[in-house]
Amino acid sequence: MNRILHDRRRWSDRGQIIVLLALCLTVMLMLFGLSIDVGFAYVTRAKLSRAVDAACLEAMKNLSQGQAMARTLAQNSFNANYHASGLDANVPALTINFTTDAFGQTMVTVNATATIRTFFMRIVPKYRTLTVSNSAEATRGKLGDDFGARPLGFDEKQWWLHGAPARGHHFRHLFRQCE
């Protein structure tokens, strides 16, 4: 009698592994898809970061030509460094702002936002696309004051400049690297 009950219980337990395997494979496939989509988002963010940094530096470098020209050159630099791919749902939105703080320092802030399509997460309607953004900021002091950049020229014996100790040859070496 005991053997008959044991055989019936075993007979009713058959097939449960198939249900568990189906559930586990579904969850694993969803996690695999999530990792691929998030990986593409990180790649897009790296591309966006490179392009935003280049645009910010280009705007700051050309600020002496006027804000309109600096903005145009920064947009051109961004477009040259951000190469659109099949992942992009639309063209990245780029904003370039010029501000001046209380000390007279000019700041350039560049923000960009890209929207990419997902592959596996689009099963959930909310995640058909992902939004990736990045920003960069550069600051430059007023020219000719004690806090900003100015042309420097001094001989080997001059070691004190506006209250800040510095060696002449050291400053010339640094400025040669920046040229």
Q: Bridge partners of 112?
A: 94, 134
Residues 113, 156, single domain; the answer is no
pLDDT for position 176? 43
- Phi/psi of residue 107, nearest 5 degrees: -120, 135
Burial of 96 (0-12, 13-18, 19+ CB in 10 A): buried
Is pLDDT of 158 > 50? no
Residues 95, 55 within the same domain: yes
Cα 131–Cα 135–Cα 137 angle in degrees, nearest 5: 175
User: What per-residue confidence (pLDDT) applies to 11?
Assistant: 59
Average pLDDT, integer, range 111-117 = 93
CA distance 158 to 138: 31
Tell me, yes or no, whether 177 and 121 share the same domain: no
pLDDT for residue 22: 92
Instruction: Transcribe the chain into DSSP letters.
Output: -HHHHHHHHHHHHTTHHHHHHHHHHHHHHHHHHHHHHHHHHHHHHHHHHHHHHHHHHHHHHTGGG-HHHHHHHHHHHHHHH----TTBSSPPEEEEEEEE-TTS-EEEEEEEEEEEE-SSGGGSGGGSEEEEEEEEEEEEPPTTSSSS-------TT--EETTEE--HHHHHHHHHHH-
Rounded average pLDDT over 119-139: 88
C-alpha dist (Å) from residue 25 to 33, 38, 121: 12, 20, 16
pLDDT at res. 5: 55
Residue 102 and residue 31 in one domain: yes
- Give the residue from 141, 52, 132 showing the smallest Cα distance to 97: 52
Confidence of residue 169 (pLDDT cuts 50, 70, 90): very low
Given this model, what pLDDT does residue 137 score? 92
- Whether residues 95 and 166 fall in one domain: no
Instruction: Give the pLDDT confidence of 11-44 residue by residue, as tens digits.
Output: 566 778 888 899 999 999 888 988 999 999 999 9
* 17 and 71 co-located in one domain: yes
User: Do residue 131 and residue 154 come from a single domain?
Assistant: no
Q: Are residues 132 and 167 in the same domain?
A: no
Statement: residue 156 has pLDDT above 50: no
* pLDDT for residue 8: 59
**Are both 120 and 155 inside the same structural domain?**
no
Q: Which residue is associated with the tokens 């898809």? A: 33
pLDDT score recorded for residue 168: 42
Expressed as residue numbers, the domain containing 171 is 149-179
59 and 137 share one domain: yes
Higher pLDDT, 163 or 140: 140
Q: What is the pLDDT of residue 28?
A: 92
pLDDT of residue 125: 83
Number of structural domains, the chain?
2
| pLDDT(179) > 60 | no
Query: What value does the mean pLDDT of the chain take?
Result: 78
CB contact at 8 A, 41 and 127: no
How far is Cα 94 from Cα 78, in angstroms, rounded to an integer? 8
Q: Let me know whether 44 and 87 are in one domain.
A: yes
> pLDDT of 73-107, one tens digit each?
999 999 999 988 888 888 899 999 999 888 888 89
The answer to whether residues 17 and 103 belong to one domain is yes
